[in-house]
Every structure is written in structure tokens, then in C-alpha cells.
Amino acid sequence: MRWKKISDAVIRRLPLYLRVLDELSADPETELISSQDLGFRAGVSPALVRKDLAWFGEFGKQGVGYEVAFLRDELRRILNLDSELKVALVGVGSLGVALTRYNIKRYQEDNSFNLRLAALFDSDPKKIGIQIEGIPVFSIDQIGEKTEELGLQMAIITVPFESAQIITDMLVNAGVRAILNFAPTKLVVPEGVHVANADLSLELQRLAYYLQDEE
């Protein structure tokens, strides 16, 4: 099922709620959570929590709150995280290696973290064939073949901006439909493919806005 009209701002908050519910699930005593408490822990107002969740159904009971385990399972289903998703990373430079370590650590420590980095790609012959944290590095010429063979669905791009679009085209042609882009450039993708920009410089520039003196 797909909820067509839900804005990305809503989707962006769902993983924050899921993180809180995952943490609470560790404690069997906590069966219920109020929108106040969930909002406080996620850094979102209680009214917005209720509004966001109402897009997807009736999860809470007035005056009682949400059932932690139930809401957690529902959010995982809504976010498509109830089964393992395989992720590719293209560009095994220092950022690519750091993100690989980060992802693998996360995947190993958290049973419910279903995003598994399954293949790395690079154009440097010295890197092709090695493994990083146990993940093999393939040639970018193998993107099509390995995407099908390994069932890769998402990709992280950490190549220089000059190569980002051509790598994107290769990934899209291979069937990848969600891309997390760390290259400082805008990627052009066909409809049905989703790009999230994780360009550090854009984030820092945005943050600079908030340094202005309050009146």
C-alpha cells in the first residue's frame, strides 16, 4: 500500500518515532506511551506526533496512548523496514569507508536495523577485489550485474561531484530506486526514483542561518 499525498516532512519524522519505540521496546515494562512522551523523546510536539501518525490510521487510544510494540511494528511496515533491504555504496574514498564502518557497526549492534550494506563499488583497480568490513568492492562496470545478482535496492553515493550523475544513471538503469547522495551536486532522476541529499556543505549552510542574532 502507498499513501500518495503524505509530505516528505511527515516521512522524515517517522524514523525519529521508530528510534524512540525501538529504545523503549528493550524495556518490557513500558507497554504504552503517550503522544506527549513520544513527542518529547523524538523532539517533536505532541500535536504533531498525533497528526503525523493519523495519516496512517488509528494507532492510539484517547487518554491511554499508543501500544509501543504495536506502533513500532506498524511504523516498520509503513517505512518498508519489516524485511532486510540491501544497500550499495559507490565511491570507496575516506567518506565511503567511514560510512561503511558506521553502517556495519549499526547493523551488527541492532537486530532490527534492516538496512544491510551488501556491495561496494569503485573505479580504482587497486580497490576492486578487496573487502572493507567484510563487504566486497566491485568495479563500477559491475553495477548492473551485481544489483540484479545481490538484489540491491538502495545506494549511497560518495563519489566526486563530476562522476555523481553518471553513477546515478548506472544505478537507476540497474533498478535502484532510492539514493542517498553525499556528492555536492543535484542529481537528475526519472519519476519513481527518490534522492535524499546528504551534502554536508548544504547542511552547514542551512545551519548558519540560525546563527543570526535573535531580536
Binding site for its own copies (CB under 8 A): 1-2, 4, 8-9, 11-12, 14-16, 18-19, 41-43, 78-81, 85, 87, 93-95, 97-99, 101-103, 106, 113, 115, 153-154, 156, 177-180, 184, 186, 192, 194, 196, 198, 200-215
* Among 2, 4, 6, residue whose Cα is nearest residue 54: 6
Q: All 3 cell numbers of residue 125?
A: 583497480
Choose between 166 and 200: whose C-beta lies nearer to its own copies: 200
Order across the sheet with 32-33: list the strands.
Answer: 32-33, 65-67, 60-61
User: Closest approach of Cβ 129 to its own copies, in Å?
Assistant: 21
User: Closest approach of Cβ 75 to its own copies, in Å?
Assistant: 9
Q: Which phi and psi angles does 148 have, rounded to 5°?
A: -70, -50
In 3-state terms, what secondary structure has residue 12?
helix
User: Closest approach of Cβ 199 to its own copies, in Å?
Assistant: 8
User: Closest approach of Cβ 141 to its own copies, in Å?
Assistant: 25
In 3-state terms, what secondary structure has residue 79?
coil
Choose between 103 and 128: whose C-beta lies nearer to its own copies: 103
In 3-state terms, what secondary structure has residue 105?
helix
